[in-house]
Structure 1
């Protein structure tokens, strides 16, 4: 590999447009975001800042009850002693507040809780700036300062917990990105390969996403184009050969008319008719395998009833069973030919034929059932191949059968993104089933 190709491969694999480069950017962005969020949580909670004691509300409650139960003459000394022991509470004597006094600095529920703890003989009034006045049972009052009770920080406020949560979120984002960027295009590639057909209605694969995915989509689109071109070239070549062969066949027919022996003239004309019919069957098979007709909304029930009527008009026992109307998207000409081929095959080997139609929310099922000898399980796959005929059709004297009827029907079914399958009927007979998606 040349130096230029190595550099291009290195740029392709490690560039920002590649999968590895985008994963590296996502991981780096997650690490930076994690550190930023952890720093914000640290400065908001400030573990180095002193926290007020969670026991201060209980201390104020106990000390207030102690002062309220003491004698009025001993209260000044007791209040001075308590103020020295608990300076943060700033307990002092105070004048009784008016009955309608009410502060707004403390939440009402905290005032109510302190009053509930002290009992109905005490009255708590908030004056603002963290100060409260508590009226004792005998009418005296004391003042205090108590910071609001500081709640414990939530679990996610811990830096270690925040780091763990950010790591989980980063992994989740990475998984979602991988599912969207990798799984979705790969699923579309698998669906495109499964539903690949030669009709031009299929849109090319979208070339978006990382560089590797875009390169794969371009390669698949080019491959589909090459396959389509190859099939079209083959069809054009065989059509040209068929056209060229018809001219000498016509000349041979003219010369055969001058053969004096009646038996030889008849046999020669029969062989030439068989050659012409074979060329027509081969071209029909190639054309149906690469059809370009656009699907349209049709009444499948009417189409199946029409096929049954056409065979009944020529004396065949063909009947239709199914709904009176059934709308679905299909190629009417191709589907008519596929079902007609199945009915012709069933009439050739059986005496009574039934066409059945069934629809579900997402599937269309067409069955052609006969009472003939059926097909052995070991031969079901082979009879669907081109130019493979049943045991009763191996005589080349029968120019109407070249082993292409079932092959054409299966090619048409696959062109509709469906499938043709063969099933034996009890006690005897065969069921040819076409299953199509109800688009």
Structure 2
């Protein structure tokens, strides 16, 4: 890694460092501009009346007592609006609840040794009294000036609020810019498919994010290529095996022993059925059928009627209509596999449909012996059969029905699980989303 590679703006670390530096600079610029505009360190000049009163107090405080009458007369002639007067000590009524800008200016101008007081308003006029160091009190008319700004309207509070809002907006924007590629990764993982309809991950954002996006896109291409190769290989195997199986059936017809001929034909039929089942499990379903709106209730009722026509006791229990986004043929094949397993082990089967919110639940219930809790998860794996027979006949399966149904449920964005039925039997539950916007759009 380069010495200053961390500060490279195309990397996540560089962008975070740039965000921190930009936030600090913006905050300092805002505070500096507010300081230069408001200048709280600069002493505000008092109003004219307050300035004149402070000067008169300093002049009288420094003069001898015999000179004060002449000075008072001179000040009164020079500043008639000040209405300066001398009051005897102890005769002045003070208002204690005022602390205006004019009082602060007078106190700063006079310094220690002088006491500044506010007098009650007289005929709408505001007067301020100043007690000289020797106890003499002079009073004059002073304009109180503008009212001080409120706490929320002060320059510092407005500056801090503006800085807080600016830095917060900058942080939210940066967090969104950094998290957006990660959110696209999550959406791509949820919509991962091998049918070619999924869009590749956009290669944008910081350098690390773009590298991950490129790696995931290459991985998707490699997986799709491997699945395509597997499908072509299985298709070739299926084509090559069908021909010798057909020849063996023709040769079996010439066997004179009726018992041996029937057994061989049964074995050949089982071989063909097993081959078709394996191909059904491993083939690339998504290229063969698109997602569309399906009336799930009608599909389940049709499956129940088909098995009833074959002599099985299969009932449908659910609403008369329930629409969802699905692949109709795949869903039909998956539910058919579940019902085939159920009628193989039970005498009576019920297909239940329940729609709640954004998910629908399909339960296939039978009254057979059920499956122990220790084997429920194992039964969902390929080539695991529910019976313990080592020889296959017409009543046994290949252990692929549940696996195919589970693969179909997962391809629809759902899940398949096994549950106990009371008092006996098994419930195979397939849960599917009602809507699949991404898949339906594809």
Q: Specify if TM > 0.5.
A: yes
Aligned with 2:429 (options 401, 420, 433) = 433
> Separation in 2 of the partners of 1:419 and 1:385?
14
Alignment of 1:115-134 (within 5 A): 118=121, 122-123=123-124
Q: Contact conserved, 1:256 with 1:265, CA < 8 A, in 2?
A: yes
* CA apart distance, 1:175: 4.9
Alignment of 1:78-157 (within 5 A): 91-92=82-83, 118=121, 122-123=123-124, 146=143, 148-152=145-149, 154=151
Q: Which moved more, 1:387-396 or 1:278-287?
A: 387-396
* CA apart distance, 1:83: 8.8
Matched residue, 2:346 = 350
Q: Contact conserved, 1:357 with 1:364, CA < 8 A, in 2?
A: yes
* CA apart distance, 1:394: 4.4
Q: Contact conserved, 2:413 with 2:433, CA < 8 A, in 1?
A: yes
> Separation in 2 of the partners of 1:239 and 1:79?
122
> Separation in 2 of the partners of 1:378 and 1:79?
113
Task: Tell whether 2:216 aligns with 1:204.
Answer: no
Q: Contact conserved, 1:289 with 1:415, CA < 8 A, in 2?
A: no
Alignment of 1:208-287 (within 5 A): 208-287=204-283
Gaps of 5+ in 1: 1-5, 61-74, 94-116, 126-142
* CA apart distance, 1:321: 1.4
> Separation in 2 of the partners of 1:91 and 1:321?
100
Alignment of 1:4-403 (within 5 A): 14-52=7-45, 91-92=82-83, 118=121, 122-123=123-124, 146=143, 148-152=145-149, 154=151, 172-173=168-169, 175-177=171-173, 179-287=175-283, 292-391=288-387, 394-398=390-394, 401-403=397-399
> Separation in 1 of the partners of 2:433 and 2:76?
88
Q: Which moved more, 1:219-228 or 1:368-377?
A: 219-228
Q: Contact conserved, 1:80 with 1:92, CA < 8 A, in 2?
A: no
> Separation in 2 of the partners of 1:167 and 1:38?
8
1:249-305 Cα distance to aligned partner (Å, 9 max, x none)? 222222222333333332222222221111111111112665552211121111111
Q: Which moved more, 1:413-422 or 1:331-340?
A: 331-340
Q: Contact conserved, 1:83 with 1:91, CA < 8 A, in 2?
A: no
1:131-154 Cα distance to aligned partner (Å, 9 max, x none)? xxxxxxxxxxxx966362351575
> Separation in 2 of the partners of 1:429 and 1:380?
13
> Separation in 2 of the partners of 1:350 and 1:51?
97
> What's the secondary structure of 2:417's corresponding residue?
strand
* CA apart distance, 1:200: 3.3
Q: Contact conserved, 2:7 with 2:17, CA < 8 A, in 1?
A: no
> What's the secondary structure of 1:391's corresponding residue?
coil
Q: Contact conserved, 2:19 with 2:171, CA < 8 A, in 1?
A: no
> What's the secondary structure of 2:351's corresponding residue?
strand
> What's the secondary structure of 1:432's corresponding residue?
strand
> What's the secondary structure of 1:252's corresponding residue?
helix
* CA apart distance, 1:352: 1.4
> Separation in 1 of the partners of 2:415 and 2:76?
94
> Separation in 1 of the partners of 2:207 and 2:151?
44
Matched residue, 1:71 = none
Q: Which moved more, 1:389-398 or 1:348-357?
A: 389-398
Matched residue, 1:135 = none
Q: Contact conserved, 1:52 with 1:149, CA < 8 A, in 2?
A: no
> Separation in 2 of the partners of 1:148 and 1:156?
18
> Separation in 2 of the partners of 1:37 and 1:292?
63
> Separation in 2 of the partners of 1:253 and 1:281?
19
> Separation in 2 of the partners of 1:418 and 1:255?
46
Q: Structure 1 length normalisation: TM-score?
A: 0.74
> Separation in 1 of the partners of 2:327 and 2:249?
37
Q: RMSD across aligned C-alpha pairs, in angstroms? A: 3.8
Q: Structure 2 length normalisation: TM-score?
A: 0.73
1:300-343 Cα distance to aligned partner (Å, 9 max, x none)? 11111111121122222111111111111111111111111111
Q: Contact conserved, 1:421 with 1:432, CA < 8 A, in 2?
A: yes
* CA apart distance, 1:244: 0.9
